[in-house]
Chain A
Amino acid sequence: MARTRIPTSSPPSVSSVKVAPFKPPLQISEDHHLCPGCGHPVAWRLLLEVLSDLELDHRAIGVVGHGCYTAIATMSDIDWLQCLHGRAPAVATGLKRVQPQAAVFTLQGDGDMATEGLHEVLHAAARGESITAIMVNNGVFGDTGGQMTATTVVGQRTKTSLDGRDADAHGFPIPLADLVSNLPGASYVARGAVNNAGSIAQTKKFLTRAFEAQLAGDGFSFVEILTMCPTGWIIPTADGPDYVAGTFEKTFPVKQLKSNL
């Protein structure tokens, strides 16, 4: 006896409702070159879903940094400004100040925001700029081949910490969401993950609330999203979600940290 396959090449012939489309309305193309098992495309998808859900299609402007995730700027149908490594929160500040009606957000990795751009994000948060900063955090410079960043966790192997990050030699990772949540100018701060359906649903809520904070004129909103990078972590692809749960989340707890909503 064998299990019978159900055909999946076309929609069902019996009466049914589509409960989830392939891609969100603002996605132009799904043909990205990110690795199998990468968490970034899941985060992108949530972002684009939230923008449409909140009817920000004709108001959103994304300011994107440098990383594997930069490809989103070619694949999604909103205005984009690609900027220098780490500087997106400063660029977004200038943009929002002259286009206050736009929903301005940054999309940066941990290498971009927490490492090169720590100065910019903290000052934008302190000033309470009405922007939404989003950090996809996989604890590694993926795009450049897998070097250590400010959020690489102790024990994590990278090309510049081959024996695992050692606190004595390399210091400690920076829990950026926690840092930002301490600043009065930050009104909404959360850390999510995309390693399972539950965390994905929760992260979508966090993103929604972050944009709602911007729309309410409430100050700086911030969402850190733990994403998988099995390539940069030098682990089998299928182990990515468990690595997030078992290793990353111990250093970077997944939760909503602050909300004025």
Chain B
Amino acid sequence: MPTKLMQGADAVAEAALNVGCRFFAGYPMLPFTPLLESMAKQMKAVGGVCINASSEIEAVNMAIGAGAGGARVGTGSCGQGIALMQEAIAEAALNEVPFVVFNMARGQQDYFQCTRGGGWGDYRTITLAPKDVAEAVEHTQLLFHLADKHRGPVILYGDYLIADTFMSVDVSPREFGPLPPKDWALDGTLGGTGRSRQIWSWAMGKSNAPGLGPDGQWKRMAQKFRDIADEEQRHETFLVDDAEYVVVSFGTSSPFVDYVVEEMRAAGVKIGSFRPITLWPFPEQALADATAECRRVFVYEVNGGQMLDDVRLSVADRSKIDFIGGVSVDYSGMRQGEGLQVSSIRTAIAEAMKRGG
């Protein structure tokens, strides 16, 4: 399939449908709304279902039901809407129902919600943060694969720039390898056979086939997420090999950061950048390796310092860490503000360098 110029929301929707997403439920909230509208437009043609739910809570619980029925399922929201979905995302992590959550976030302030999770229990959600629409398309398809591979909810960290920007993209389906069959999915057919199924975060099982129970199930889940953490970290580095300064950023901030890094390199500054692609599992070792020889680490994000915590955990006190980002939103409160500019980043880096260390 050749590339075509598409708006991000449409590209993400079509990419999802092209890997078999057949159920989508969401509640309007900008900047997520264009994705819901795109799904509403495209889903019928492929014989799928798109429901404009009556709340975020309803949408994400519909996703649990559809995912439990074995379909490839999407839901989404942003900001405070994601906050409403936290209980259900945690529940799906603990009862192992797969779906993709499209967080077209309100700027970069959703980082904690996606990586720490506001739901209950020892659970995690794989979160991918694309830097542009092309990567968002790839991540969308990869996330459906990861949701099925690990049987649980996963998150795409998009935002206004991903949803609204036009880019030339290839939305044809990508292959990611074989997946186990969904023999756990509920369809009613094993009723009356003595082997009927159950999906329950407490894993109580049936009287003739007891399950692990809450203690066993949640111990197993805690271990499962440790295993996923070892396996699914992704990152990208740019010019870090001999860097004295490394700038860490994520998502749509990164192209702005890399523009400045490239410019400063041309001016002779030994600077590079590191970008976690998985916000969870955060690529701790990769960041530690990339910053092993550098003196200063600058953390740039358009929030008050959220990824900063993960950078501190990875880098520890081997390098001096400076936070050079900050909250910046536009008049609507839904999009990055004037802080996300090449000139602001250039100034922030220069001032941080001057502050020494």
Contact = CB atoms under 8 A, between A and B. Distances in A.
- A contacting B, Cβ–Cβ less than 8 Å: yes
The 9 closest A-B pairs by CB, nearest first: A94-B65, A94-B66, A57-B192, A95-B65, A90-B61, A94-B62, A91-B65, A29-B207, A82-B200
Given A77-B193, A80-B196, A87 B88 contact: yes
B192 A78 contact: yes
Interface string B190-213: 111110111111101111100000
A99 B198 contact: no
Interface residues on A, range: 35 or more
12 contacts: A26-B192, A56-B188, A57-B192, A74-B205, A79-B188, A81-B198, A82-B202, A90-B53, A93-B65, A94-B23, A98-B73, A99-B186
Contacts of B196: 77-80
Contacts of A31: 207
B206 A77 contact: yes
Interface of B: 22-23, 25, 49, 51, 53-55, 57-59, 61-71, 73, 87-88, 91, 95, 186-194, 196-202, 204-208
B121 to A, nearest CB: 13
Nearest to A93: B62
Interface in A60-101: 60-61, 63, 73-75, 77-84, 87, 90-99, 101
Given A56-B188, A98-B66, 15 more contacts: A26-B191, A26-B192, A56-B191, A74-B198, A77-B192, A78-B191, A79-B191, A87-B58, A90-B62, A91-B61, A94-B67, A97-B51, A98-B22, A102-B186, A102-B188
Interface in A84-139: 84, 87, 90-99, 101-103, 119-120, 123
A35 interface: no
Contact of A63 (B65, B91, B95, B206): B65
Residue in A90, A92, A93 whose Cβ sees the most chain B Cβ within 10 Å: A90
A235 B202 CA distance: 32
Interface of A is mostly: mixed
A80 B66 CA distance: 14
A79 to B, nearest CB: 4
A170 interface: no
A91 B199 CA distance: 12
Interface of A: 25-26, 28-29, 31, 51-52, 56-61, 63, 73-75, 77-84, 87, 90-99, 101-103, 119-120, 123
Nearest to B55: A119
Contacts of A91: 61-62, 64-65, 68
B187 A102 contact: yes
A61 B88 CA distance: 20
B246 to A, nearest CB: 42
Nearest to A78: B191
Given A81-B65, A94-B64, A94-B73, A73 B198 contact: yes
B75 to A, nearest CB: 9
Nearest to A32: B207
A93 B197 contact: no
B70 A79 contact: no
Contact of B57 (A25, A87, A98, A103): A87
Nearest to A26: B192
B16 to A, nearest CB: 15
